[in-house]
Amino acid sequence: MSAAETKLTPMKLGSLTVKPPSHPTYDLKGIIKLALTEDAGNRGDVTCMAVIPTDMEVEAHFLAKEDGVVAGIALAEMVFHEVDPSLKVEWSQADGDYVCKGLQFGKVTGRAYSVVVAERVVLNFMQRMSGIATLTKAMADAARPACILETRKTAPGLRLVDKWAVLIGGGKNHRMGLFDMVMIKDNHISIAGGVTNAIRSVDMYLNQQNLKMEVEVETRTLDEVKEVLNYASQTETSVTRIMLDNMVVPLTNGDVDVSMLQEAVKLIDGKFETEASGNLTLETVHKIGQTGVTYISSGALTHSVRALDISLKIDTELALQVGRRTKRA
């Protein structure tokens, strides 16, 4: 049996391989409706209404046009069912699986009009999520034993979707937003008048509000690391993680100098979780991951994502023929 002929099995709506991260106010179904409304405008799909008979049914196949980690399968099914609950969706792969160029990995069957209306919204979500998952998987594998995190540098309105794709790719989520973790950044420190003042203010606030949550403080120099450690040695603090920002120094030959990062990790000596940030690439992440840091965060996972090429085709034979001609199948 060829890869393109792999047996398809129905996937129950809501039966998720990787569940989306939790958020107290994010409306995933609302985002799907917004995307569909954005496409439909005030008239709907005028091309479909002109061309497709209302009672015609089709079978359309998902086709991977390059290698990568597929993500967005569960979300795609949600989109199809929002457009038309009668559509039947089947998959041979699950979120997080690796797909090869030319693989048919799923199909949707039902009203032609509904399939085509949903097509672009489904693919927009899947291609972006698969691109994020593919890069995350490569980064996470190279970073071990450190864990890869994304940041809040997500597409506006797609925060949960982007972070879901990171989980599917094998990464872990940083804070979801401004509400679920205290993160003392450089501007907070400048406004507070120094690292110690900023941490002291956070400790007081959390105590007054009777709040318990993770607290991270950004440090840019070894002196700032020492200041955090000195404060913590004298006062009970809520700090749980120290960010080591831009302590990886790029070299002219493309390599990086991690000696400052290593020194910071040694100073902290396991008293707090550590997070390396800045000057991170797929080529440098392995070296950074060997320094002993707990986490490595990368904004590029979501802000500079390259979509994975996936299509949905009714005439798969012609699509594969064209794909082979253009070396995309």
Please say if 128 is a catalytic residue: no
95, 203, 245, 309: the active-site residue: 245
Q: Which two tokens stand for residue 55?
A: 């009672």
Separation of alpha carbons 134 and 11, rounded Å: 22
101, 107, 120, 328: the active-site residue: 120
Please say if 153 is a catalytic residue: yes
101, 107, 153, 313: the active-site residue: 153
Per-position b or e across 24-48, b if 16+ CB within 10 A of its CB: eebeeeebbeebbeeeeeeeebeee
| Residues making up the binding site | 120, 151-153, 175, 185, 218, 245, 277-279, 298-300
292 φ, ψ to 5°? Answer: 100, 0
185, 266, 271, 324: the active-site residue: 185
Helix ranges (H only) for the chain are 28-40, 46-51, 73-83, 112-143, 159-168, 186-192, 195-209, 222-234, 259-268, 285-289, 300-303, 316-325
Please say if 185 is a catalytic residue: yes
* Distance from the Cα of residue 226 to its chain's centroid: 33
Residues 139, 285 contacting (CB under 8 angstroms): yes
Please say if 120 is a catalytic residue: yes
| Residues making up the binding site for substrate | 120, 151-153, 175, 185, 218, 245, 277-279, 298-300
119, 150, 162, 218: the active-site residue: 218
Q: Which two tokens stand for residue 109?
A: 């069957």
CA geometry: angle at 309 spanning 303 and 315, to 5°?
150
> If you ran DSSP here, which 8-state letter would residue 176 be given?
S
Separation of alpha carbons 147 and 145, rounded Å: 7
Residue by residue, DSSP assigns 8-62 as PEE--TT--SSPPPP-SS--HHHHHHHHHHHHHTTT--HHHHHHS-TT-EEEEEE
Separation of alpha carbons 247 and 263, rounded Å: 10
Please say if 245 is a catalytic residue: yes
Q: What is the chain's alpha carbon radius of gyration, rounded to the nearest angstrom?
A: 23
Residues involved in catalysis: 120, 153, 185, 218, 245
